[in-house]
Chains A and B, each alone.
Chain A
Amino acid sequence: MSLVVKNLWVFRGGRAVLEDVSFSAGREFVLVAGPNGAGKTTLFLAILGQVPHRGEICVEGLCGEERAAKVGYVPQHVRIEAEATVWEYVYLPARFRKIKAAEKAAEEALKAVELYALRDKPVTTLSGGQRQRAAIARALATGGDVLLLDEPMANVDPQGRVELMTLLRELKKDRTILMTSHELTFPSDLADKVLLLNKRVVAYGPPDAVFREEVLMKIYRYVRIAKTPTGFICVTEDYAHPH
Protein backbone atom coordinates (compact mmCIF):
# COMPACT_ATOMS: atom_id res chain seq x y z
CA MET A 1 0.00 0.00 0.00
CA SER A 2 1.30 3.50 -0.84
CA LEU A 3 -0.42 5.20 2.06
CA VAL A 4 -1.29 3.66 5.40
CA VAL A 5 -2.99 5.63 8.19
CA LYS A 6 -3.53 3.79 11.49
CA ASN A 7 -5.36 5.05 14.57
CA LEU A 8 -4.74 8.71 13.76
CA TRP A 9 -5.75 11.25 16.41
CA VAL A 10 -5.29 15.00 16.08
CA PHE A 11 -6.13 17.42 18.88
CA ARG A 12 -6.51 21.19 18.61
CA GLY A 13 -7.19 23.37 21.64
CA GLY A 14 -7.84 20.26 23.75
CA ARG A 15 -10.55 19.01 21.33
CA ALA A 16 -10.19 16.05 19.00
CA VAL A 17 -10.25 17.17 15.35
CA LEU A 18 -9.63 13.65 14.04
CA GLU A 19 -10.61 10.59 16.05
CA ASP A 20 -9.02 7.19 15.47
CA VAL A 21 -8.86 7.50 11.68
CA SER A 22 -7.58 4.41 9.88
CA PHE A 23 -7.48 3.59 6.16
CA SER A 24 -5.03 2.59 3.47
CA ALA A 25 -4.74 3.35 -0.24
CA GLY A 26 -2.77 1.86 -3.12
CA ARG A 27 -2.30 3.38 -6.56
CA GLU A 28 -5.84 4.72 -6.74
CA PHE A 29 -7.91 7.87 -6.52
CA VAL A 30 -9.56 8.48 -3.17
CA LEU A 31 -12.16 11.21 -2.84
CA VAL A 32 -12.10 12.51 0.74
CA ALA A 33 -15.60 13.83 1.34
CA GLY A 34 -17.30 15.34 4.34
CA PRO A 35 -18.92 18.54 5.58
CA ASN A 36 -16.99 21.68 6.50
CA GLY A 37 -15.00 21.09 9.70
CA ALA A 38 -14.90 17.31 9.16
CA GLY A 39 -11.08 17.32 9.39
CA LYS A 40 -10.26 16.84 5.70
CA THR A 41 -7.51 19.49 5.58
CA THR A 42 -6.25 18.42 9.00
CA LEU A 43 -5.88 14.86 7.68
CA PHE A 44 -3.67 16.18 4.87
CA LEU A 45 -1.59 18.31 7.24
CA ALA A 46 -1.10 15.25 9.48
CA ILE A 47 0.07 13.19 6.48
CA LEU A 48 2.52 16.02 5.68
CA GLY A 49 3.68 16.01 9.32
CA GLN A 50 2.62 19.63 9.83
CA VAL A 51 0.33 19.11 12.82
CA PRO A 52 1.10 17.18 16.01
CA HIS A 53 -0.70 13.84 15.96
CA ARG A 54 -0.93 10.41 17.53
CA GLY A 55 -1.02 7.21 15.52
CA GLU A 56 0.94 5.96 12.54
CA ILE A 57 1.15 7.38 9.02
CA CYS A 58 3.34 5.65 6.44
CA VAL A 59 3.95 6.73 2.84
CA GLU A 60 5.70 4.25 0.56
CA GLY A 61 6.96 2.48 3.68
CA LEU A 62 8.35 5.65 5.29
CA CYS A 63 6.68 6.34 8.63
CA GLY A 64 8.79 9.18 10.08
CA GLU A 65 9.04 12.86 9.10
CA GLU A 66 10.92 11.81 5.96
CA ARG A 67 7.59 10.64 4.47
CA ALA A 68 6.76 14.28 3.63
CA ALA A 69 9.31 14.13 0.80
CA LYS A 70 7.14 11.49 -0.89
CA VAL A 71 4.01 13.63 -0.72
CA GLY A 72 2.99 16.27 -3.23
CA TYR A 73 0.53 18.81 -1.85
CA VAL A 74 -1.88 21.30 -3.39
CA PRO A 75 -3.14 23.63 -0.62
CA GLN A 76 -6.79 24.58 -0.35
CA HIS A 77 -6.16 28.20 -1.27
CA VAL A 78 -3.55 28.57 -3.98
CA ARG A 79 -2.58 32.12 -3.09
CA ILE A 80 0.04 33.83 -5.19
CA GLU A 81 1.10 36.95 -3.33
CA ALA A 82 4.33 37.95 -5.07
CA GLU A 83 5.97 37.75 -8.48
CA ALA A 84 7.56 34.57 -9.86
CA THR A 85 7.57 32.88 -13.23
CA VAL A 86 5.67 29.63 -13.73
CA TRP A 87 9.05 27.85 -13.91
CA GLU A 88 10.26 29.34 -10.59
CA TYR A 89 6.90 28.56 -9.00
CA VAL A 90 7.33 24.86 -9.80
CA TYR A 91 11.11 24.40 -9.79
CA LEU A 92 12.20 26.28 -6.66
CA PRO A 93 10.28 24.15 -4.09
CA ALA A 94 11.79 21.02 -5.70
CA ARG A 95 15.23 22.59 -5.22
CA PHE A 96 14.42 23.53 -1.60
CA ARG A 97 13.45 19.90 -0.97
CA LYS A 98 16.75 18.80 -2.49
CA ILE A 99 14.95 16.62 -5.03
CA LYS A 100 17.48 14.82 -7.23
CA ALA A 101 17.38 16.27 -10.75
CA ALA A 102 14.98 19.02 -9.62
CA GLU A 103 15.15 20.72 -13.01
CA LYS A 104 14.12 17.56 -14.85
CA ALA A 105 11.34 16.91 -12.33
CA ALA A 106 9.98 20.45 -12.81
CA GLU A 107 10.22 20.19 -16.59
CA GLU A 108 8.35 16.86 -16.66
CA ALA A 109 5.72 18.13 -14.22
CA LEU A 110 5.08 21.24 -16.32
CA LYS A 111 4.81 19.11 -19.46
CA ALA A 112 2.37 16.75 -17.67
CA VAL A 113 0.02 19.64 -16.88
CA GLU A 114 0.60 21.24 -20.30
CA LEU A 115 2.04 24.48 -18.95
CA TYR A 116 5.62 24.08 -20.18
CA ALA A 117 5.05 26.55 -23.01
CA LEU A 118 4.04 29.19 -20.43
CA ARG A 119 7.08 28.62 -18.14
CA ASP A 120 8.46 32.16 -18.55
CA LYS A 121 5.14 33.90 -17.88
CA PRO A 122 4.47 35.44 -14.46
CA VAL A 123 2.39 32.97 -12.49
CA THR A 124 0.08 35.83 -11.49
CA THR A 125 -1.10 36.16 -15.09
CA LEU A 126 -2.46 32.59 -15.24
CA SER A 127 -6.20 31.88 -15.17
CA GLY A 128 -7.79 30.09 -12.18
CA GLY A 129 -7.65 26.68 -13.90
CA GLN A 130 -4.06 27.25 -15.07
CA ARG A 131 -3.04 28.22 -11.52
CA GLN A 132 -4.47 24.97 -10.19
CA ARG A 133 -2.58 23.06 -12.86
CA ALA A 134 0.61 24.93 -11.93
CA ALA A 135 -0.01 24.02 -8.27
CA ILE A 136 -0.44 20.36 -9.29
CA ALA A 137 2.79 20.54 -11.31
CA ARG A 138 4.53 21.89 -8.22
CA ALA A 139 3.14 19.03 -6.14
CA LEU A 140 4.32 16.54 -8.78
CA ALA A 141 7.81 18.06 -8.87
CA THR A 142 8.22 18.09 -5.08
CA GLY A 143 6.93 14.64 -4.26
CA GLY A 144 4.47 13.02 -6.49
CA ASP A 145 4.14 9.39 -5.34
CA VAL A 146 1.21 10.42 -3.19
CA LEU A 147 -0.70 13.53 -4.23
CA LEU A 148 -2.89 15.41 -1.77
CA LEU A 149 -5.27 17.83 -3.47
CA ASP A 150 -7.21 20.03 -1.10
CA GLU A 151 -10.37 21.33 -2.80
CA PRO A 152 -8.65 21.80 -6.18
CA MET A 153 -11.94 22.50 -7.98
CA ALA A 154 -12.79 25.48 -5.78
CA ASN A 155 -12.61 28.84 -7.61
CA VAL A 156 -12.16 27.15 -10.99
CA ASP A 157 -14.60 27.83 -13.85
CA PRO A 158 -16.48 24.91 -15.51
CA GLN A 159 -14.02 24.72 -18.42
CA GLY A 160 -11.12 24.67 -15.96
CA ARG A 161 -12.82 21.87 -14.00
CA VAL A 162 -13.14 19.73 -17.11
CA GLU A 163 -9.45 20.29 -17.89
CA LEU A 164 -8.47 19.43 -14.31
CA MET A 165 -10.50 16.23 -14.31
CA THR A 166 -8.92 15.14 -17.59
CA LEU A 167 -5.51 15.77 -16.04
CA LEU A 168 -6.39 13.87 -12.86
CA ARG A 169 -7.57 10.85 -14.90
CA GLU A 170 -4.08 10.73 -16.45
CA LEU A 171 -2.25 11.25 -13.17
CA LYS A 172 -4.14 8.59 -11.21
CA LYS A 173 -2.76 5.82 -13.46
CA ASP A 174 0.52 5.61 -11.56
CA ARG A 175 -0.05 7.53 -8.34
CA THR A 176 -2.06 7.57 -5.15
CA ILE A 177 -4.28 10.65 -5.22
CA LEU A 178 -6.36 11.91 -2.32
CA MET A 179 -8.65 14.80 -3.18
CA THR A 180 -10.90 16.58 -0.72
CA SER A 181 -14.21 18.03 -1.65
CA HIS A 182 -17.09 19.41 0.33
CA GLU A 183 -19.21 19.18 -2.80
CA LEU A 184 -20.45 15.64 -3.41
CA THR A 185 -20.72 15.89 -7.16
CA PHE A 186 -18.00 14.23 -9.21
CA PRO A 187 -17.47 12.10 -12.34
CA SER A 188 -18.05 8.48 -11.32
CA ASP A 189 -15.08 7.18 -13.31
CA LEU A 190 -12.64 9.39 -11.43
CA ALA A 191 -12.78 8.11 -7.84
CA ASP A 192 -11.86 4.51 -7.10
CA LYS A 193 -12.78 4.96 -3.45
CA VAL A 194 -14.53 7.48 -1.25
CA LEU A 195 -13.41 8.25 2.31
CA LEU A 196 -16.39 9.78 4.07
CA LEU A 197 -15.02 11.73 7.00
CA ASN A 198 -16.67 13.53 9.87
CA LYS A 199 -13.82 13.70 12.43
CA ARG A 200 -13.85 9.90 12.26
CA VAL A 201 -14.20 7.56 9.28
CA VAL A 202 -17.92 7.25 8.56
CA ALA A 203 -17.42 5.00 5.54
CA TYR A 204 -14.59 3.95 3.22
CA GLY A 205 -15.01 2.00 0.01
CA PRO A 206 -16.05 2.21 -3.65
CA PRO A 207 -18.31 5.17 -4.53
CA ASP A 208 -21.36 2.97 -5.07
CA ALA A 209 -20.97 1.56 -1.54
CA VAL A 210 -20.43 4.92 0.18
CA PHE A 211 -22.80 7.17 -1.72
CA ARG A 212 -25.94 5.50 -0.44
CA GLU A 213 -28.62 7.41 1.35
CA GLU A 214 -28.43 5.29 4.49
CA VAL A 215 -24.67 5.98 4.74
CA LEU A 216 -24.80 9.68 3.94
CA MET A 217 -27.71 10.24 6.31
CA LYS A 218 -25.26 9.54 9.17
CA ILE A 219 -23.74 13.01 8.63
CA TYR A 220 -26.03 14.91 6.25
CA ARG A 221 -29.60 15.71 7.15
CA TYR A 222 -31.21 15.61 3.74
CA VAL A 223 -29.69 13.97 0.67
CA ARG A 224 -30.76 12.88 -2.79
CA ILE A 225 -28.54 10.79 -5.06
CA ALA A 226 -28.74 10.78 -8.84
CA LYS A 227 -26.58 9.49 -11.66
CA THR A 228 -26.48 11.70 -14.73
CA PRO A 229 -26.23 10.28 -18.27
CA THR A 230 -22.67 11.65 -18.47
CA GLY A 231 -21.62 9.49 -15.55
CA PHE A 232 -21.67 12.10 -12.79
CA ILE A 233 -22.84 11.09 -9.37
CA CYS A 234 -24.75 14.01 -7.89
CA VAL A 235 -25.39 13.97 -4.19
CA THR A 236 -27.43 16.97 -3.21
CA GLU A 237 -28.62 18.16 0.12
CA ASP A 238 -32.33 18.00 -0.61
CA TYR A 239 -34.12 20.66 1.40
CA ALA A 240 -37.32 20.34 -0.65
CA HIS A 241 -38.10 16.79 0.40
CA PRO A 242 -36.88 16.25 3.94
CA HIS A 243 -36.96 12.74 5.36
Chain B
Amino acid sequence: MLILIEALAAASAAAAFVHAYLYAPLLFWPLVSLVLSAAVLAALSPLAVSRRMTFLAHAQGHSILTAALAAAIPAAAVAQSLASPLFYLATLLFIIVLNLLVLFTERLGFRKDVATGVVMSFQLTATVVLLYVIRYLYATALDPLSLITGEYVLITSQDVLIQAPLLFASALFPLFYGVKYLYAAVDEAFAQAVGINPKLLDRLFVVAMSLAVAASVYALGSLMPAVLLVLPGAAASRYSHRLTEQMPLSVSLAVLSAAAAHFLCTIMPWLWPSAALGLALLVLLVAAHPPRNK
Protein backbone atom coordinates (compact mmCIF):
# COMPACT_ATOMS: atom_id res chain seq x y z
CA MET B 1 0.00 0.00 0.00
CA LEU B 2 2.78 2.43 0.95
CA ILE B 3 4.72 1.89 -2.29
CA LEU B 4 1.54 2.29 -4.34
CA ILE B 5 0.65 5.60 -2.66
CA GLU B 6 4.26 6.85 -2.91
CA ALA B 7 4.35 6.03 -6.64
CA LEU B 8 0.97 7.67 -7.19
CA ALA B 9 2.11 10.79 -5.32
CA ALA B 10 5.36 11.03 -7.30
CA ALA B 11 3.57 10.54 -10.62
CA SER B 12 0.82 13.05 -9.88
CA ALA B 13 3.32 15.65 -8.61
CA ALA B 14 5.42 15.22 -11.76
CA ALA B 15 2.29 15.59 -13.92
CA ALA B 16 1.25 18.73 -12.05
CA PHE B 17 4.72 20.30 -12.42
CA VAL B 18 4.84 19.54 -16.15
CA HIS B 19 1.31 20.89 -16.58
CA ALA B 20 2.11 24.08 -14.67
CA TYR B 21 5.40 24.62 -16.51
CA LEU B 22 3.89 24.15 -19.98
CA TYR B 23 0.34 25.40 -19.65
CA ALA B 24 0.11 27.62 -16.56
CA PRO B 25 3.59 29.10 -16.00
CA LEU B 26 2.27 31.67 -13.52
CA LEU B 27 1.28 28.78 -11.25
CA PHE B 28 4.60 26.93 -11.47
CA TRP B 29 6.37 28.56 -8.51
CA PRO B 30 3.20 28.67 -6.41
CA LEU B 31 2.89 24.92 -7.05
CA VAL B 32 6.53 24.35 -6.01
CA SER B 33 5.83 26.30 -2.82
CA LEU B 34 2.60 24.38 -2.20
CA VAL B 35 4.20 20.95 -2.66
CA LEU B 36 7.21 21.79 -0.49
CA SER B 37 5.08 23.27 2.31
CA ALA B 38 2.60 20.39 2.16
CA ALA B 39 5.39 17.77 2.29
CA VAL B 40 7.15 19.28 5.30
CA LEU B 41 3.97 20.04 7.26
CA ALA B 42 2.73 16.52 6.48
CA ALA B 43 6.00 15.00 7.75
CA LEU B 44 5.26 16.67 11.08
CA SER B 45 1.60 15.68 11.04
CA PRO B 46 1.85 12.05 12.32
CA LEU B 47 4.02 13.34 15.14
CA ALA B 48 1.32 15.81 16.20
CA VAL B 49 -1.40 13.16 15.84
CA SER B 50 0.46 10.41 17.73
CA ARG B 51 1.73 12.71 20.45
CA ARG B 52 -1.78 14.11 20.95
CA MET B 53 -0.78 17.60 19.89
CA THR B 54 -3.50 18.09 17.30
CA PHE B 55 -5.11 20.79 19.42
CA LEU B 56 -1.77 22.61 19.55
CA ALA B 57 -1.38 22.03 15.82
CA HIS B 58 -4.81 23.52 15.19
CA ALA B 59 -3.93 26.41 17.44
CA GLN B 60 -1.23 27.18 14.85
CA GLY B 61 -3.97 28.80 12.82
CA HIS B 62 -4.47 31.35 15.58
CA SER B 63 -0.78 31.63 16.43
CA ILE B 64 0.30 32.16 12.86
CA LEU B 65 -2.32 34.85 12.27
CA THR B 66 -1.23 36.72 15.39
CA ALA B 67 2.45 36.24 14.53
CA ALA B 68 1.98 37.24 10.89
CA LEU B 69 -0.02 40.35 11.84
CA ALA B 70 2.66 41.32 14.34
CA ALA B 71 5.37 40.65 11.74
CA ALA B 72 3.45 42.60 9.08
CA ILE B 73 3.88 45.83 11.03
CA PRO B 74 7.69 46.08 10.70
CA ALA B 75 7.58 44.41 7.25
CA ALA B 76 5.08 46.90 5.85
CA ALA B 77 6.93 49.81 7.46
CA VAL B 78 10.28 48.84 5.93
CA ALA B 79 9.41 47.15 2.63
CA GLN B 80 5.71 48.02 2.09
CA SER B 81 5.29 44.34 1.20
CA LEU B 82 4.97 40.96 2.84
CA ALA B 83 7.19 39.30 0.24
CA SER B 84 10.35 40.06 2.18
CA PRO B 85 12.77 38.06 4.34
CA LEU B 86 11.95 40.45 7.21
CA PHE B 87 8.33 39.27 7.20
CA TYR B 88 9.33 35.58 7.29
CA LEU B 89 11.90 36.11 10.04
CA ALA B 90 9.63 38.25 12.22
CA THR B 91 6.77 35.73 11.76
CA LEU B 92 9.10 32.90 12.73
CA LEU B 93 10.27 34.74 15.82
CA PHE B 94 6.72 35.52 16.99
CA ILE B 95 5.39 32.01 16.27
CA ILE B 96 8.23 30.35 18.19
CA VAL B 97 7.61 32.65 21.16
CA LEU B 98 3.85 31.89 21.07
CA ASN B 99 4.38 28.13 20.79
CA LEU B 100 6.96 27.97 23.54
CA LEU B 101 4.55 30.03 25.63
CA VAL B 102 2.22 26.99 25.54
CA LEU B 103 4.94 24.74 26.99
CA PHE B 104 5.72 27.42 29.58
CA THR B 105 2.05 27.71 30.52
CA GLU B 106 1.96 23.91 30.98
CA ARG B 107 4.66 24.34 33.61
CA LEU B 108 2.28 26.54 35.57
CA GLY B 109 0.31 23.35 36.21
CA PHE B 110 -2.17 23.36 33.31
CA ARG B 111 -2.81 20.31 31.11
CA LYS B 112 -1.60 20.64 27.49
CA ASP B 113 -5.09 21.40 26.10
CA VAL B 114 -5.82 24.00 28.78
CA ALA B 115 -2.37 25.59 28.33
CA THR B 116 -2.99 25.79 24.58
CA GLY B 117 -6.42 27.33 25.22
CA VAL B 118 -5.00 29.92 27.63
CA VAL B 119 -2.32 31.05 25.15
CA MET B 120 -4.86 30.97 22.30
CA SER B 121 -7.17 33.29 24.26
CA PHE B 122 -4.33 35.73 24.64
CA GLN B 123 -3.58 35.44 20.92
CA LEU B 124 -7.19 36.08 19.91
CA THR B 125 -7.21 39.27 21.96
CA ALA B 126 -3.90 40.35 20.44
CA THR B 127 -5.18 39.52 16.94
CA VAL B 128 -8.14 41.87 17.24
CA VAL B 129 -5.83 44.65 18.42
CA LEU B 130 -3.31 43.99 15.63
CA LEU B 131 -6.01 43.94 12.92
CA TYR B 132 -7.12 47.42 13.94
CA VAL B 133 -3.54 48.70 14.21
CA ILE B 134 -2.76 47.43 10.70
CA ARG B 135 -5.95 48.89 9.24
CA TYR B 136 -5.12 52.22 10.88
CA LEU B 137 -1.46 52.32 9.84
CA TYR B 138 -1.42 50.55 6.46
CA ALA B 139 -4.91 50.77 5.05
CA THR B 140 -3.70 50.74 1.44
CA ALA B 141 -0.41 48.83 1.69
CA LEU B 142 -1.66 45.71 3.38
CA ASP B 143 -4.78 43.56 3.14
CA PRO B 144 -5.16 41.47 6.30
CA LEU B 145 -7.27 38.99 4.30
CA SER B 146 -4.08 37.95 2.47
CA LEU B 147 -2.69 36.77 5.81
CA ILE B 148 -5.68 34.49 6.27
CA THR B 149 -5.95 33.04 2.76
CA GLY B 150 -2.33 33.41 1.58
CA GLU B 151 -1.01 35.04 -1.59
CA TYR B 152 -0.75 31.83 -3.60
CA VAL B 153 -0.80 33.27 -7.10
CA LEU B 154 1.76 35.95 -6.25
CA ILE B 155 4.44 33.43 -5.23
CA THR B 156 7.68 33.78 -7.19
CA SER B 157 10.98 31.89 -7.30
CA GLN B 158 12.28 34.51 -4.86
CA ASP B 159 9.67 33.52 -2.28
CA VAL B 160 10.51 29.85 -2.72
CA LEU B 161 14.18 30.70 -2.11
CA ILE B 162 13.25 32.35 1.20
CA GLN B 163 10.92 29.47 2.14
CA ALA B 164 13.27 26.63 1.27
CA PRO B 165 15.85 27.03 4.09
CA LEU B 166 13.10 27.35 6.70
CA LEU B 167 11.33 24.25 5.40
CA PHE B 168 14.63 22.37 5.18
CA ALA B 169 15.44 23.27 8.80
CA SER B 170 11.98 22.12 9.85
CA ALA B 171 12.35 18.82 7.98
CA LEU B 172 15.48 17.95 9.97
CA PHE B 173 13.37 17.09 13.04
CA PRO B 174 11.21 14.39 11.44
CA LEU B 175 14.22 13.11 9.50
CA PHE B 176 16.44 12.61 12.52
CA TYR B 177 14.04 12.27 15.42
CA GLY B 178 10.69 11.39 13.81
CA VAL B 179 10.72 7.65 14.56
CA LYS B 180 12.02 8.18 18.10
CA TYR B 181 9.33 10.79 18.73
CA LEU B 182 6.65 8.46 17.37
CA TYR B 183 7.93 5.72 19.69
CA ALA B 184 7.79 8.12 22.63
CA ALA B 185 4.10 8.49 21.74
CA VAL B 186 3.66 4.70 21.94
CA ASP B 187 5.28 4.30 25.38
CA GLU B 188 6.85 7.37 26.96
CA ALA B 189 8.15 5.58 30.08
CA PHE B 190 10.05 2.99 28.09
CA ALA B 191 11.30 5.55 25.57
CA GLN B 192 12.94 7.33 28.50
CA ALA B 193 14.47 4.05 29.66
CA VAL B 194 16.27 3.67 26.33
CA GLY B 195 17.66 7.20 26.43
CA ILE B 196 14.99 9.22 24.59
CA ASN B 197 14.13 12.56 26.18
CA PRO B 198 10.46 13.15 25.27
CA LYS B 199 10.28 16.60 26.89
CA LEU B 200 13.28 17.85 24.89
CA LEU B 201 11.79 16.34 21.73
CA ASP B 202 8.48 18.11 22.51
CA ARG B 203 10.33 21.44 22.48
CA LEU B 204 12.23 20.62 19.29
CA PHE B 205 8.97 19.53 17.67
CA VAL B 206 7.32 22.84 18.55
CA VAL B 207 10.27 24.73 17.02
CA ALA B 208 10.14 22.54 13.88
CA MET B 209 6.39 23.13 13.64
CA SER B 210 6.94 26.89 14.03
CA LEU B 211 9.55 26.91 11.25
CA ALA B 212 7.24 25.05 8.84
CA VAL B 213 4.23 27.20 9.63
CA ALA B 214 6.20 30.46 9.34
CA ALA B 215 7.61 29.30 6.00
CA SER B 216 4.15 28.47 4.66
CA VAL B 217 2.09 31.44 5.82
CA TYR B 218 2.70 33.71 2.80
CA ALA B 219 1.65 31.01 0.34
CA LEU B 220 -1.00 29.14 2.31
CA GLY B 221 -2.25 31.80 4.71
CA SER B 222 -2.73 31.30 8.42
CA LEU B 223 -5.43 28.63 8.34
CA MET B 224 -4.24 25.89 5.99
CA PRO B 225 -0.93 25.07 7.75
CA ALA B 226 -3.01 23.91 10.72
CA VAL B 227 -5.02 21.63 8.42
CA LEU B 228 -1.81 20.21 6.96
CA LEU B 229 -0.48 19.53 10.45
CA VAL B 230 -3.45 17.30 11.27
CA LEU B 231 -5.19 15.75 8.23
CA PRO B 232 -2.27 13.93 6.52
CA GLY B 233 -1.24 12.22 9.77
CA ALA B 234 -4.83 11.31 10.61
CA ALA B 235 -5.33 9.95 7.08
CA ALA B 236 -2.04 7.99 7.20
CA SER B 237 -3.15 6.21 10.37
CA ARG B 238 -6.19 4.94 8.44
CA TYR B 239 -4.00 3.47 5.69
CA SER B 240 -1.47 1.66 7.91
CA HIS B 241 -0.91 0.69 11.55
CA ARG B 242 2.87 0.54 11.09
CA LEU B 243 4.63 3.27 13.03
CA THR B 244 7.49 3.46 10.53
CA GLU B 245 5.09 3.98 7.61
CA GLN B 246 3.24 6.93 9.14
CA MET B 247 5.60 9.70 7.98
CA PRO B 248 6.20 8.49 4.39
CA LEU B 249 2.47 7.81 3.99
CA SER B 250 1.53 11.21 5.38
CA VAL B 251 3.96 13.03 3.05
CA SER B 252 2.79 11.01 0.05
CA LEU B 253 -0.88 11.76 0.76
CA ALA B 254 -0.12 15.47 1.13
CA VAL B 255 1.89 15.63 -2.11
CA LEU B 256 -0.86 13.70 -3.91
CA SER B 257 -3.42 16.19 -2.55
CA ALA B 258 -1.27 19.18 -3.57
CA ALA B 259 -1.08 17.86 -7.14
CA ALA B 260 -4.83 17.20 -7.12
CA ALA B 261 -5.39 20.74 -5.78
CA HIS B 262 -3.42 22.18 -8.70
CA PHE B 263 -5.60 20.43 -11.27
CA LEU B 264 -8.79 21.23 -9.37
CA CYS B 265 -7.91 24.95 -9.37
CA THR B 266 -7.10 24.87 -13.05
CA ILE B 267 -10.54 23.44 -13.78
CA MET B 268 -12.35 25.55 -11.16
CA PRO B 269 -10.43 28.84 -10.84
CA TRP B 270 -12.81 30.05 -8.08
CA LEU B 271 -11.52 27.31 -5.79
CA TRP B 272 -8.57 28.61 -3.80
CA PRO B 273 -5.62 26.12 -4.05
CA SER B 274 -5.08 25.67 -0.33
CA ALA B 275 -8.80 25.01 0.14
CA ALA B 276 -8.68 22.47 -2.70
CA LEU B 277 -5.73 20.82 -0.95
CA GLY B 278 -7.71 20.49 2.28
CA LEU B 279 -10.66 19.09 0.34
CA ALA B 280 -8.47 16.49 -1.41
CA LEU B 281 -6.99 15.42 1.92
CA LEU B 282 -10.42 15.07 3.43
CA VAL B 283 -11.50 12.82 0.53
CA LEU B 284 -8.37 10.66 0.97
CA LEU B 285 -9.05 10.36 4.70
CA VAL B 286 -12.67 9.34 4.25
CA ALA B 287 -11.87 7.00 1.33
CA ALA B 288 -9.34 4.98 3.33
CA HIS B 289 -10.16 1.44 4.35
CA PRO B 290 -8.70 0.95 7.83
CA PRO B 291 -5.90 -1.62 7.78
CA ARG B 292 -6.64 -5.21 8.73
CA ASN B 293 -6.36 -6.20 12.40
CA LYS B 294 -7.34 -2.72 13.49
Contacts and interface: CB of A to CB of B under 8 A. Distances in A.
B189 A85 contact: no
B293 A121 contact: yes
Contact of A79 (B50, B182, B189, B244): B189
B190 A93 contact: yes
B220 to A, nearest CB: 27
A85 to B, nearest CB: 6
Interface in B210-245: 237, 241-244
Given A81-B185, A82-B185, A93-B183, A122 B190 contact: no
Given A92-B179, A96-B180, A97-B194, A82 B293 contact: no
Choose among B188, B237, B241, B244 the residue with the greatest number of A CB atoms under 10 Å from its CB.
Answer: B241
Contacts of A75: 187, 189-190, 193
A80 to B, nearest CB: 6
Contact of B189 (A68, A77, A121): A77
Contacts of B186: 80-84, 89, 123
Given A96-B183, A96-B195, A96-B196, A85 B190 contact: no
Interface in B243-291: 243-244, 246
A88 B244 contact: yes
Contact of B241 (A73, A78, A85): A85
Interface string B96-132: 0000000000000000000000000000000000000
A132 to B, nearest CB: 13
Given A93-B183, A122-B293, A85 B193 contact: no
A135 B193 CA distance: 13
Interface residues of B, number: 27
Contact of A97 (B51, B188, B195): B195
B241 A83 contact: yes
Contacts of A24: none
17 contacts: A50-B192, A68-B195, A75-B187, A79-B189, A81-B50, A81-B186, A81-B187, A83-B241, A83-B242, A88-B243, A93-B194, A96-B180, A96-B196, A122-B241, A123-B186, A125-B293, A125-B294
Contacts of B179: 92
Interface string A89-102: 10011001100000
A30 B52 CA distance: 38
A125 B52 CA distance: 20
Given A92-B183, A96-B183, A82 B243 contact: yes
Contacts of B193: 48, 50, 68, 73, 75
A138 interface: yes
Contacts of A78: 187
Contacts of A85: 241-243
A48 B195 CA distance: 10
A7 B241 CA distance: 46
A142 interface: yes
Interface string B174-186: 0000011011011
B49 to A, nearest CB: 8
B189 A84 contact: no
B61 to A, nearest CB: 24
The 10 closest A-B pairs by CB, nearest first: A84-B243, A82-B185, A82-B50, A122-B241, A75-B189, A93-B194, A83-B241, A82-B186, A88-B243, A73-B193
Contacts of A83: 50, 186, 237, 241-243, 246
A119 B211 CA distance: 37
A135 B189 CA distance: 12
Interface in A157-200: none
A122 B294 contact: yes
B194 A142 contact: yes
A206 to B, nearest CB: 30
A79 B180 CA distance: 16
Contacts of A73: 190, 193
Contacts of A50: 192-193
Choose among B185, B188, B195 the residue with the greatest number of A CB atoms under 10 Å from its CB.
Answer: B195
Contact of B242 (A68, A88, A138): A88
Contacts of A121: 293
A82 B188 CA distance: 10
Nearest to A84: B243
Contacts of A77: 189
